[in-house]
Every structure is written in structure tokens, then in C-alpha cells.
Structure 1
Amino acid sequence: MAFSDASLTALRVFREVAERGTLTAAAAALGYTQSAVSRQIASLERAAGTPLLERRHDGVRLTPAGRIVVRRAASVVDQVDATARELAGLPDEHGTVRLGWFASAGAALVPRALATLRRTHPAITVISREGSTPALVRALRAGTVDLAVLASAPPFRPPDTETPALVLRTLTERTLCVAVPTGHPLARGEFIDAADLNGQQWIAGSGEDRVLGVWPGLDERPQIAHTARDWLAKLQLVAAGFGLTTVPPVLTPALPPGVRILPVRGGPVEWRRVLLARLPQAPTDPAARLADALRAAATETGVPV
């Protein structure tokens, strides 16, 4: 079986697996059974004559051959989809850019950038979606997003070890803060002493690579009272007095009543970076315009670098 015999369905499935990181997640996204996904991957590997995925306990990782295939698969699938739209008489997506962003970037940075781009370049269409930083990195590799706004914490390592390395631009640097109920004793001052965070209850959010929402410098096992993925849910729990959570200052415009954001002193400063990432090839003009708008918005909403 030659690779030229690989089906379009198998390429779509493979791209989804590469982006989602697990067969289970890809199956759920596509509405397939996991066994159906496995069969499509197996057929593609037979056509390629080599393994395309490395199966691991925490999901899958692309082999060198898999990285080649996923780049080509993204191009093939996009071209077929564009042809189908043209035959159906739908508008051509020339001028479209696909953006991924991590959750808190949607509070101010992304909406401001999109509003600016709509004023300056109204012909450009942006399709955006939220995701965790690891998921967005996989989406870049799979070719399903063109640009990604990522979060980075010390020691600020590259977001993955794949080749070629992603092109990264630091949009902002910012300090991590803590959200507290306005009626909490810690809300009385202009900052929180790090030692006063001991013994507090926390509202955490699970990420793919770490627990979010708990002060990183805490010198005790945290008391996690609630876990929520959604920022609004976490902040509403804070407002109701059920605990504290860490937040970036960029969330200030989205604070519900009853919540105060305060810096922490008395320990190492917890810096965070917001990165703009893309693959090494030259960006399209719409992508470059969106990148400019994101850099301008970052200047207004954070500490530009």
C-alpha cells in the first residue's frame, strides 16, 4: 500500500490526534469510537510504512515521520476544504487567520486586538478558540491554528521540544496576583504578605501540566476547597467567600463584584509571560496583521517587552 492511497478521512483523524494528544480526546472531538480512530491511524501507518505515533502512558507523541505527515496533512485537508467551499459557492477564506489563546487572554488582550483589527483591516476574518497552552502548541504543530497566545512560567522553557522550534515573541510580562473576597481580612490592605497565605483555602483550576490557582510559593500543602476550569466560576466562588485564587492582573476588567486583586510581597516575585507563537515559515499577511494588533493590545493591557 503506497502512501498516495491514504484516505482523506485518515488524514483528518491523524491531524485531530496530533492536536488533541490522545486517541480518546480525538475520538470525542470527531464523534468516533476510539477503535475507529485506532483503525484510521493504523491504516495511515501501513501506508507510510513506518510508525507515526509513539504511544505513551500520558497519550501519544509524533515520531519524526509523524511530524512530516501532520504538516502535509494540514495542507491537504485545508486545500480540500477550500475546494469544497468554492464548489458550494461559499466565500473564499482568503484573508482568514486562525488564532488560539489561553483562558485569561480572553478577558482583555484578545478582544482588544480583534476590535483593533476590525477597525484597521475589516476584510480580515479571525476564527479564534480557547485552549490550554499544551493543547495550543499541539494545534500549531497540527496546522489547525496559525497563531497562538501562550502562557509561560519560570524558568520560561520552550513550550515543546519538537523541531523545528516555534517562533516565540514575548507580548507581556506580568506579576501573578491573588484574588480575595472584598470582605476577607486580607482585602484590607494594598498588598498581601506571602506568609499570610498559609492556612487559606484555595480555588484551583486543573491544567494539563500543573495545578493552577494556588500561590506557587506556598510553603505548605494547599487546602483546595473547590476546583473549577472556568475563570468566571472561580471568581464567583471567590466573591462568595469560598476561598482565594491566583489571577493575572489582565483579568481586572472582568472581575465580578465582591472580588479584589492584590499583589503579593514577602517572597520571590512570581512573573508570568504571555507569548505569541507560530511555526517558522513566514506568516501570511492576515496573520502578520493580527500579530501586530496583539502586540499593540499587549502594550495597553500589560507590561510590554
Structure 2
Amino acid sequence: MEMTLVGLRVLREVAERGTFTAAAQALGYTQSAVSRQMAALEEATGARLFDRYPGGVRLTGSGRALLRRAVVALDALEAADRELRGAEEVERGSVRLGFFPTAGAVIVPRALAMLHQEHPHIQVTTREGTTPSLVRALRAGTLDLAVLSSRPPHRSPDTDEPPLSVEPLLEVHLAVAVSVGGAFAERGSVSVEEIAGAPWIAGPGSADEPLLGVWPGLPGRSEVRHTARDWLTKLHLVAAGVGITTATPALLPVVPPGVRFVPVEGAPEEVRRVSLVRVPGPPNAPTQALAHALRREAADLADLADLAD
């Protein structure tokens, strides 16, 4: 039995999605069809490609090695197809970017505007996602760059080989966003004890990432009164005076009126690092141009955060 292009495409999708079910939905296949393709690929290679566990699947060392080669082959075939069809993308270039939710409020749109001004023919496609999902997409070759956030000790977002290229762009200190009409508005800082009993506005937690918007490590169980995935929605709810949330000065350019950032005392300093992540190897020209725009926007935001401090 030989490896097939269909099998390699399914392999890439399963590696990115993390489950046979999600890969089947993305491809428009049945789950059994995906299972058959992966079984055939394992038979053709003579190696186990996935470790199965209750939450999904993870590539083995053999699976990661095959995926690296499969991504190169599939990308080459797709590029050949575009060239044969005369697609302008070959000459003009394209880049695929993933980012964590807060980055979509400021750094990504501003960097894209800068890129469009300087390189109007570069086509960028974007997607928002969690760190695990974006890392899987980088490994699967369906993203070229990802803007990710991390907290100390700022380890690599995965342990697979070869190691991802991780370039720090920006470091910011976490603060609490409060209403200018609320109890904390005139304070120079707030204590852990005070905010522990406050009503919170947070994003729904998931298996991939914890609850976002509540100060880390608070004693007891925090009261999450409002949930929202979008950070601007959270900040507008803060402005309405219905609760508080965590935020960083990187959001200052889009903070609605009626919101103030206050530092927290009596707790370890919470630092968030924003990094540009990609698979190792020389990036193409469009990817380099987008990375340059992201670096410049990050530098501008760092200056703004320093002024806020």
C-alpha cells in the first residue's frame, strides 16, 4: 500500500484539529472515512502516527516527521496548481496569520494597515484562536505566523521537534480595568483582598486555556457575573459599571471612555509576553514583511505602555 495525497491532506488536518471528528467536519468527510485514511497511512508507512487519548489524538515522533515532509509536498503542489491557473498570488505573495484574541483588538489590525500601505499586493488571511490550536496550525503548515501570549516562565508553546522560532515582541504588566464611576476609580492601586470579592467579567474557560479576565491566584472562588469572549465587550461592560476585568496597557488605544487601569498590590507581578512564532526555516518575503510590520506596531505599543506606567 502506498501513501496518497488524500491521506497526507487528512493527516495535516487531523494534526491541526487535534481530533478525527474535527478533521472530518473541516474536510466534509465522515469520521469513519478519516479513520480509514489514517489507518491506511499507518499501514503504508509501517509506523504508528498518532497516540490516542480521551480528548483526541497527538502525533507520535513518526507522525511529526511525516507531517513535516507532507507539509512541504502539499504546499509545493498547491503552489504549482496556482501557477498553472495563472493565479496572481504567485507574484504578489500571501501570508497566513493566527493570533490570540486580545491581539485582534490592536496590534494585528494596525500592523495589517501598515503592511497594506507599504505592500498593497500582499494578501493576508487571519484567524483568531487559542495557543494550542494556533500551534497545531503552524505545525500543520496552515499558518505562516502566529502572535501568541505567554506568562512566566515563558516556555516554548510546544515541545515538538524541530523547536518553533519564538521572537518576543512586547512585554506588558497585567492590571485591573475598573469603571471611572466605581469604588476603585480614584485609587492608586487595589489589594488582592479587595478585588477577590468583586464581581468579575471574564471569558469562558476551556480545556485549552483557563478562565480569562479574572486575576490569577485569587483566594476563594471568584464571582464571574458576566462572560464574554471579546475583550472590547468586556471593557464596555466595565465602563457600564457592572464588574471589573484584567487587561494590559496594550489595549489603551481602544479602551472605551469610562475605563481606568489600576495596578494590583499584595500579589506577584503578572507579566504577559507577546511573541511572534513560526516554524523554523527562512520565511518568504510576504511573511518577512508582515513580521516587520508587527515588530514596529509592537514597539509603538511598548512606548505607549511605558507612558501609562
1:215 aligns with: 215
| C-alpha displacement of 1:229 | 2.2
Amino acid in the other structure paired with 1:240:
A
1:120 aligns with: 118
2:284 aligns with: 284
Q: How does 1:66-77 map to 2 (within 5 A)?
A: 66-77=63-74
> C-alpha separation between the residues in 1 aligned to 2:301 and 2:160?
31
Q: Does 1:60 align with 2:63?
A: no
Query: Which of residues 38, 47, 55 is equivalent to 1:50?
Result: 47
Whether the 8 Å contact between 2:83 and 2:90 is mirrored in structure 1 is no
Q: How does 1:120-159 map to 2 (within 5 A)?
A: 120-159=118-157
Q: How does 1:219-298 map to 2 (within 5 A)?
A: 219-298=219-298
Deviations 1:41-100 (A, max 9, x none): 222222222111111123211111111222222223223333333343432334212111
Whether the 8 Å contact between 1:252 and 1:261 is mirrored in structure 2 is no
Amino acid in the other structure paired with 1:59:
G
| C-alpha displacement of 1:24 | 2.6
| C-alpha displacement of 1:232 | 3.2
Q: Does 1:96 align with 2:94?
A: yes
Amino acid in the other structure paired with 2:230:
D
| Count of aligned pairs between the two proteins | 301
1:300 aligns with: 300
> C-alpha separation between the residues in 1 aligned to 2:119 and 2:47?
45
Mark the runs of 5 or more structure 2 residues left unpaired by the alignment. Answer: none
Amino acid in the other structure paired with 1:290:
L
Q: Name the SS of the counterpart of 1:288 in structure 2.
A: helix
Whether the 8 Å contact between 2:16 and 2:140 is mirrored in structure 1 is yes
Q: Name the SS of the counterpart of 1:185 in structure 2.
A: coil
2:172 aligns with: 174
| C-alpha displacement of 1:131 | 1.3
Mark the runs of 5 or more structure 1 residues left unpaired by the alignment. Answer: none
| C-alpha displacement of 1:200 | 1.2
| C-alpha displacement of 1:14 | 1.5
TM-score by length of 2: 0.89
Query: Which of residues 8, 21, 25 is equivalent to 2:22?
Result: 25
Change (3 A) 1:74 1:248: same
Moved more, 123-132 or 61-70: 123-132
Deviations 1:245-274 (A, max 9, x none): 212221222233443332223322100100
> C-alpha separation between the residues in 2 aligned to 1:246 and 1:30?
38
TM-score by length of 1: 0.90
Moved more, 291-300 or 125-134: 125-134
Deviations 1:121-153 (A, max 9, x none): 333222222111111111111111111111111
Change (3 A) 1:58 1:248: farther
Amino acid in the other structure paired with 2:41:
L
Change (3 A) 1:80 1:112: same
Whether the 8 Å contact between 2:130 and 2:209 is mirrored in structure 1 is no
> C-alpha separation between the residues in 2 aligned to 1:58 and 1:249?
36
Whether the 8 Å contact between 2:199 and 2:225 is mirrored in structure 1 is yes
Whether the 8 Å contact between 1:104 and 1:248 is mirrored in structure 2 is no
Q: Name the SS of the counterpart of 1:302 in structure 2.
A: helix
Q: Does 1:162 align with 2:160?
A: yes
Whether the 8 Å contact between 1:236 and 1:256 is mirrored in structure 2 is yes
Moved more, 264-273 or 118-127: 118-127
